[in-house]
Amino acid sequence: MAWCETSMPKRWLLGVVLLLMASCVVPGRSNHEQAGALGLGRPATADDIRAWNIDANPSGEGLPVGQGTAAGGAAVYASKCARCHGPTGVEGPMDRLVGGRDTLASTSPVKTVGSYWPYATTLYDYIYRAMPFDAPQSLTVDEVYAVTAWLLHENGITEADTVIDARTLPQIPMPNRHGFVPDPRPDVPGP
């Protein structure tokens, strides 16, 4: 191609022109190509995705850098959670979080983090995005890990000094981990 044979300064100039085109003109075309045949929507950048990608799942994917222990979590719980869930996570008035082990098959089942929740990662995901109820997303990453550690410890699942972080949380063996079955319905005979 002709431009390959031009002298250095000219090639440099061409480079600048191409760079300008890339920054001004090409994005429009690139939008069109990237958004599929209809050309609607704009490509999401890594920064766009990072800002919104707040979920954490059982594999540990999405858990951020940070850590906490039950000792640190006690203070967070007392100041941010106890008002709704009770001083020890049992009293309410909102969802009971602690206790209820081995009650699920009884006539008075008590569903708590310790007795019912199958994955510990759900604690991080939910507390980070939705708690405290009156100020969601106001806790720091370390505060969420700490209060998660406190809840796990109060439920007798971890030790007081267990460090909860992105590596340890997915490995916590939840008591009701295997308590769920895929939807078997229709399961009830009709008349």
Asked if 190 touches another protein (CB under 8 A), the answer is yes
Q: Exposed, middle or buried: residue 23 (CB in 10 Å: 0-12, 13-18, 19+)?
A: exposed
> CB of residue 35 vs another protein: minimum separation in angstroms?
6
1 binds another protein (CB under 8 A): no
Rounded distance between C-alpha atoms, residue 83 and residue 106, angstroms: 29
* Dist. CA 119–CA 177, nearest whole Å: 7
For 30, the token pair is 């690139």
Residues in region 105-124 near another protein by CB under 8 A: 105, 109, 111, 113, 116-119, 121-122
Q: Is 173 in the site for another protein (CB under 8 A)?
A: no
Long-range residue pairs from 44-51, CB within 8 A, at least 24 positions apart, any chain = none
Does 47 bind another protein (CB under 8 A)? Our answer is: no
Is 54 a binding residue for another protein by CB under 8 A? The answer is: yes
Verify binding: residue 191, another protein, rule CB under 8 A.
Answer: yes
Q: Is 93 in the site for another protein (CB under 8 A)?
A: no
Instruction: Give the distance between the most distant pair of CA atoms in the chain.
Output: 88
Of the candidates 126, 142, 162, 163, which one interacts with another protein according to CB under 8 A? 126
- Binding status of residue 13 toward another protein by CB under 8 A: no
In the structure encoding, which two tokens stand for residue 178, read together? 């295997």
Give the integer Cα–Cα distance in Å for 46 and 90: 42
Query: Is there binding between residue 84 and another protein (CB under 8 A)?
Result: no
Q: Tell which residue, 148, 170, 164, has the closest CA to residue 98.
A: 148
- Indicate whether 27 belongs to the interface with another protein (CB under 8 A): no
- Least distance (Å) between residue 141 CB and another protein: 16
Cβ atoms within 10 Å of 131's Cβ, excluding its own: 20
Binding-site ranges for another protein (CB under 8 A): 34-38, 40-44, 48-49, 52-55, 57-59, 95, 104-105, 109, 111, 113, 116-119, 121-122, 125-126, 129-130, 133, 136-137, 179-191
